[in-house]
Each structure stands twice: as C-alpha cells, then as structure tokens.
Amino acid sequence: MPAPKRTPPPARIHIQYPQPVVDAGRYPAKRTVGDSVEVTCDVFRDGHEKLRAVALYRRAGATDWAEAELRPLDAHHNGVRWGGTFVVDEQGAWEFSIQAWTDVFATWRDEFARKLEAGQDQLASELSEAVVLLGDVAPRAAGADRKLIEHTLRVLGDEEILEAARHDAALGLELHAAVERSAARHGQTTLEPPLRLEVDRMRARFGAWYEVFPRSWGGLAGVEAQLPALAELGFDVLYMTPIHPIGRKNRKGANNALVAGPDDPGSPYAVGAQEGGHDAVHPELGTTEDVRSLCAAAAEHGMDVCMDFAINASADHPWLTDHPDWFHRRPDGTLKYAENPPKRYQDIYNVNWECDDWRGLWEEWRRVFLHWVDCGVKAFRVDNPHTKPIVFWEWLITEVHAVDRDVIFLAEAFTKRAMMRQLAKIGFTQGYTYFTWKNSRQELTEYVDELAWGPERDYFRPNFFVNTPDILHGYLVHGGPAAFYTRFVLAATLSPSYGVYSGYEHYENEPVAAGSEEYLDSEKYAIRARALDGPMLPFMTRVNQIRRENPALQQLTGVAWLETANDQLMAYVKQHAGNAVICIVNLDPHHAQEGSAIIPAQLGLPPAFAVTDQLSGERFDWRIGPNYVRLDPWARQAHILRVEPR
C-alpha cells in the first residue's frame, strides 16, 4: 500500500480512553456549577520523546478555548495515563477536548542530562542542537522569558565560558519553564470531536426533599404557610403530589377500594375532571395564582417547588372528549385502563404514544409543562417515565431547558437498571433508586459502590428516598423508631440528595396488610390532617445542618468503607476538599451493637486525630487502626463524626 499523500506527515501521538465520557460521547457527562472536572486519558507515541498535554474547555458555542495542563499520573513508571482539572463556573452546555504534542526541547534536555550523568564528554554537537531549538523559540517568547532565552543563547555561543557553565545554563529549570510557555507544539494532535458536559445548578446534585399531599395540609395556601418551618428544618425542595382535578368515574375509595364512597376524595393520580386537566388546579386546593404565590414564597426561602407529573388521564379528563384518538381502545371500542398485572388502575387511562396525532400529543405535553414552569415550578417528579418513549423525554427536557435551564427532572423509575441509566443519560437530572430495598451491609456497600465508583457516577444522580406513599419497607414496619433513624442517616449521608414523605417523622409504619408495602389508610385515597410536629423533626433538622456544613456529604463520590468486625455496624468515610466525615450506623434496630471501626492508613488521615460527633457534640480521640464503637437503639443509633483539622 503506498504511503499517504499528505503534508504534514501523519500524527504519531495517540490519545485514548478519555474521561469523563458517556457512551463514547453520545451523551454528556454531568457536573454542577463550581465543580472541578477531573480529566484523564492515555497519551503516548512511538519512541522515547517527551510529551505535553492540555485539556481544552469552553462553554458550548464560545469561540476560544481555555487550557488546563495535564500531567502524567504515573510518571515514576513511565505510565501513559495523564490527568488534570478545570472548573466549570456557569450553568449550561460545555465541551472539552485533549491536545498533546511532542516537547522537543524537553526531549533534548532529558537526553543531554542523562549523557552528563553517564560521564560522557565532547557534547558540543548536542549544545548546537540546543542553540537551534532555542533560536526557534526566542521569537515566540515575550518579556522575561525572551530575555532569558536570548541570554542563554549568548552563553551557549560563547566558547570562552566554561563548558560546565554552559551545560548548567542549558539545563536551567527557569529556562525550561520559559521554553515550555512559548515553544511551538510539534506534532500537535487533538482529540476529535470534543466531548460534552452538561453543567447544572447545585441543587441538581445536592438537596433535601420533603413530599406532601397538599389536600392534607389545607390546600396550596396551607402548604405555603408551612414554608418557613420547612426551610427552618433544612429542606430544600417542597415536593407536591398532583394538584389537578380528580376524575369521578371509576374513582378509587379508601385503601384502593374499587368503589368510592360519597366523601372519598379519590387518587390525585387520576388526573382530569370537568374542571380541567393537567394544566388546571383542583378547586378545593386553590388556583393557578396560588401556585405562583407558593413558588414565589418558596424562592424567598431558598427553596424550590416540585410538581408531581403523572402522564395519564381519568375517564373524565377533557382530552377523552377533545382528543379521543390519544388513548388506547380495545377492538370493541372500550377504553383500556392502566394495569401492571396483578396491579390494576381502573381509574386512569394511559395515552397512546403511537396514535396518528402523536406530534400533537407531544406538543400538548410541552405546553402543559411550560405552563407550570411559567408559574415558577422548578422541578418535576415524573411518575413512571420508563413506560413512555425515551425519545419523547429527550425532546421534552431539551425544550423545557431552552426556556428555563434551572428546571430539575426527577425520574420515578423503579425498573431495570438499563432503563434507569438511559433516562439519566438523555436528560433526567436525578433518579429514584433501589436504596429502599438495600438494608444489609453487603447490599448497601455493593449498591453505593456501583453508583459512586462505576460508570454511572458521570451521569446518574441518585435521590435516596427513605419512603414514598407507595413504599413502606418491612424494615420500617418491624424495626420501630430506631429503624427510621438508621435509614434516615444512611440516606442523608450516603447520597447528596435524599427525600422523605411526610409521616416519616411520626414513625408511621402500619401496612394495609401483612407483607404489603402499601400504607394502611393510604394518603393516596384519603385526606389526612397533617402537621409539622413529629418527634423526629429535631433530628432531621440537625442532620440537614450537618449536610450543609460538610462538603464531603454533598458529594456522591469520595466514600470508603471501614471494617468493623460486625456486619450490623455500617461504617464509612466520606472525603472532599479537605473535609472528612466518618459515619457509623447501627443496622440493628432492636439491639445494641459494638465493634471496631478500622481506619486504614491509605485514607491519608493523620496517625492520631480528633473527631467531633456532629449529632451530640462529643469529642473523641481516634487513630489509624481500630477504634471502639458501641451503638444502642435506645440511646443513639449513629455517629456522624467530623475529623477535626490538626
């Protein structure tokens, strides 16, 4: 095969396995404003030449690239993995690439130094090479760099100066740095195409969510009245279940009964009645103006309002009259209600995504979402997004973000991991997780490792809900109050974002039947008189304060597990930006457990150090190696220990 007909010759530098990257660049990796993006890649070429590399980065659409230097991560063993960081300081789309080149002068300098170390003499030819290289760089340099290079050229050309002095001048560190700043990039190679980053606001990664049924709090005005207290408790997001009119036909009764009584309010997930559909507010809850008022008041308290969005319709939804083709019908003409055997949802109908007017259906959903965005809603918890077309969500989220980039999308998708991952890749800001069903030390360790250290860490942001209106886990049913403290601490310290459904602070744990995860007298089908007066609230408040005070708890990564010699004690360290927090949690809600939390030397902590329990204020002396711990459900169920600076 003939040689390629091109000038200059083909590149000899190879750039491989860049990170962060999602599906070879098909989807953007995710970061938040202020994050340091760690870039790594393999950089190598044939031969023994010295290389240099930088990360190029910019806001999408910007003309100029900024640069961050990359350095070998394993220089002692001549490794090829390089790394460096840059900071993303604005929200929106970013892109980055990697550029590498041969450092001709560094290559000459290294070879020359090794010849001197070997005792070789008669190196005049080598010095002449340096003169040529420096002569090429000098015109490119400016200021002090140019003066230093020109001075060195004069020294190298003066044969009256001792040879050893000329050697020292050629090998000077300041000269090397000056040349690096100005030399041409020989054999420059750039990774193409650039890789993408999506940068969100901080709340996309870190926040505490509190879920309410507005009808149990006196409607929207009643919910708004709770905002000062919720802000004082340290919650960042007020999450409301659907607030729309509720269908009357096929309405569910108490505890999911098929026939509703005259006073049963029905499920708020059966959206739509003669009063309106997804763009309307249930008259008993308030008005659209009340939504605007609620969102504005939340913003004044530094909080966001999240709206629960269920893409289905009751039999009374206006769309069944205006757009009957948007719904599934059986061959006999009857509507097909929603079901997931053996579960049956006789009060709702799913839309037909493959109808002839699918474009009109998509556009209407966009209009509805943007209507609530215009009212000030900053987050949407989407009900079962995995049962709707993924391409629809990718389109819709892009459309909404074109109007308001602050909007957060939370995927309530308890389904296959592949689907949960894909929803995150195409734009969902956060996702529900399997945390509720991970209760043993082994289960938790394995699952958090997958989230924090696996490929998902670059795009999947978990939200560890401790409970939901649909999920009352047996651990809470049988564990009593201590179990509630255990799960709360785990959720709030392992995940930057967590959520709690109201009633948790009252230790509500009575299922509708043995083995069921449904609550007895579920709020989905009944109105409960709610108030912020649960006995667990002071503890929640303190934990939320601890989270805000410790950057390590605001990150998913940086977690390391500690051996305890007792599987009922869950112990781990989270570290970030010089902040280290040690958490020990008793997984046994019925008995005291004791063991030794073993601090390994590789964590980088001092041989001996002080820790302060952020829950109790107590101070302890800890060290590398074993540290005795005893946790009693009737006294304390967890330690949250901050490592104090020396």
191 occurs within a structural domain? no
Task: Look at residues 559, 588, 556, 579 and name the one whose alpha carbon lies nearest to residue 571.
Answer: 559
Could you tell me the CATH number of the domain that includes residue 91?
2.60.40.10
Supply the angle between the helices 124-137 and 104-117 in degrees, to the nearest 10.
160
Burial level of 585, CB count in 10 A (0-12/13-18/19+)? buried
Considering the domain architecture, whether residues 324 and 405 belong to the same structural domain is answered as yes
Burial level of 126, CB count in 10 A (0-12/13-18/19+)? middle
Could you tell me the CATH number of the domain that includes residue 637?
2.60.40.1180
Q: Say whether pLDDT at 123 is over 80.
A: yes
Q: Say whether pLDDT at 338 is over 80.
A: no
Beta carbons of 51 and 98 less than 8 angstroms apart: no
Distances (CA, A) of 337 to 313, 331, 351, 514, 526: 9, 14, 10, 28, 22
Beta carbons of 273 and 245 less than 8 angstroms apart: yes
Considering the domain architecture, whether residues 228 and 142 belong to the same structural domain is answered as no
Distance CA(544)–CA(493), nearest Å, equals 10
Read off the pTM: 0.94
Considering the domain architecture, whether residues 235 and 142 belong to the same structural domain is answered as no
Q: Say whether pLDDT at 142 is over 90.
A: yes
Considering the domain architecture, whether residues 113 and 205 belong to the same structural domain is answered as no
Place 398 in a pLDDT band, splitting at 50, 70 and 90. Answer: very high
Considering the domain architecture, whether residues 564 and 582 belong to the same structural domain is answered as yes
**How many independent structural domains does the chain possess?**
4
Tokens coding 146? 């140019």
Considering the domain architecture, whether residues 44 and 126 belong to the same structural domain is answered as no
192 occurs within a structural domain? no
Task: Look at residues 582, 500, 588 and name the one whose alpha carbon lies nearest to residue 541.
Answer: 500
Tens digits of residue pLDDT in 515-538: 999 999 999 999 999 999 999 999
Q: What average pLDDT does range 591-616 have in this prediction? A: 97
Cβ-proximal residues to 590 (8 Å cutoff; 6+ apart), any chain: 479, 480, 482, 633
Please report the pLDDT score of residue 344 as a whole number.
74
Check if 136 is active-site. Answer: no
Which of the residues 412, 505, 508, 588 is marked catalytic? 412
621 occurs within a structural domain? yes
Distances (CA, A) of 242 to 52, 284, 312, 522: 56, 13, 11, 15
Distance CA(381)–CA(121), nearest Å, equals 74
Cβ-defined contacts of 548-552 (< 8 Å, 24+): 548/234, 549/614, 550/579, 550/581, 550/614, 550/642, 551/576, 551/577, 551/579, 552/576, 552/577, 552/579, 552/580, 552/581
Please report the pLDDT score of residue 74 as a whole number.
80
Question: Where a domain ends, among 37, 68, 99?
Answer: 99
Place 328 in a pLDDT band, splitting at 50, 70 and 90. Answer: confident
Residue % of the chain over a pLDDT of 90: 91
1 occurs within a structural domain? no
Beta carbons of 420 and 428 less than 8 angstroms apart: no
Distances (CA, A) of 120 to 115, 156, 302, 438: 6, 18, 70, 66
Check if 412 is active-site. Answer: yes
Which DSSP string corresponds to 187-200?
A: EEEE-SSPEEEEEE
Task: Look at residues 629, 611, 607, 609 and name the one whose alpha carbon lies nearest to residue 620.
Answer: 611
Tokens coding 320? 């069944």
Beta carbons of 546 and 614 less than 8 angstroms apart: yes
Considering the domain architecture, whether residues 539 and 586 belong to the same structural domain is answered as no
4 occurs within a structural domain? no
Beta carbons of 478 and 537 less than 8 angstroms apart: no
Considering the domain architecture, whether residues 315 and 436 belong to the same structural domain is answered as yes
Place 6 in a pLDDT band, splitting at 50, 70 and 90. Answer: low
CB burial readout 48-69, b (16+ within 10 A) else e: ebebbbbbbbbbeeeeebeebe
Considering the domain architecture, whether residues 76 and 30 belong to the same structural domain is answered as yes
**At 126, which helix (H) or strand (E)?**
helix 124-137
Tens digits of residue pLDDT in 33-90: 999 999 999 999 999 999 999 999 999 999 999 999 999 998 655 679 999 999 999 9
Q: How far apart are the first and last CA of the chain?
A: 66
Question: Where a domain ends, among 554, 584, 601?
Answer: 554
Could you tell me the CATH number of the domain that includes residue 122?
1.20.58.80
CB neighbourhood size of 165 (10 A):
11
Considering the domain architecture, whether residues 175 and 295 belong to the same structural domain is answered as no
Domain that holds residue 169: 105-182
**CA 398: distance to chain centroid?**
18
Q: Which residue has the higher pLDDT, 328 or 570?
A: 570
Beta carbons of 228 and 59 less than 8 angstroms apart: no
Burial level of 393, CB count in 10 A (0-12/13-18/19+)? buried
Place 252 in a pLDDT band, splitting at 50, 70 and 90. Answer: very high
Distance CA(71)–CA(120), nearest Å, equals 30
Q: What average pLDDT does range 1-30 have in this prediction? A: 87
Please report the pLDDT score of residue 136 as a whole number.
95
Please report the pLDDT score of residue 8 as a whole number.
74
List the beta bridge partners of residue 473: none
Could you tell me the CATH number of the domain that includes residue 228?
3.20.20.80
189 occurs within a structural domain? no
Distance CA(64)–CA(591), nearest Å, equals 62
Please report the pLDDT score of residue 341 as a whole number.
72
8 occurs within a structural domain? no
Compute the C-alpha angle 343/347/351, nearest 5°: 90
Considering the domain architecture, whether residues 141 and 251 belong to the same structural domain is answered as no
Question: Where a domain ends, among 133, 153, 182?
Answer: 182
Which of the residues 145, 383, 458, 523 is marked catalytic? 383
Tens digits of residue pLDDT in 433-458: 999 999 999 999 999 999 999 999 99
Q: What average pLDDT does range 125-141 have in this prediction? A: 94
Please report the pLDDT score of residue 347 as a whole number.
87
**At 596, which helix (H) or strand (E)?**
strand 593-599
Q: Say whether pLDDT at 1 is over 70.
A: no
Place 553 in a pLDDT band, splitting at 50, 70 and 90. Answer: very high
CB burial readout 463-472, b (16+ within 10 A) else e: bbbbbbbebb
Considering the domain architecture, whether residues 155 and 37 belong to the same structural domain is answered as no
190 occurs within a structural domain? no
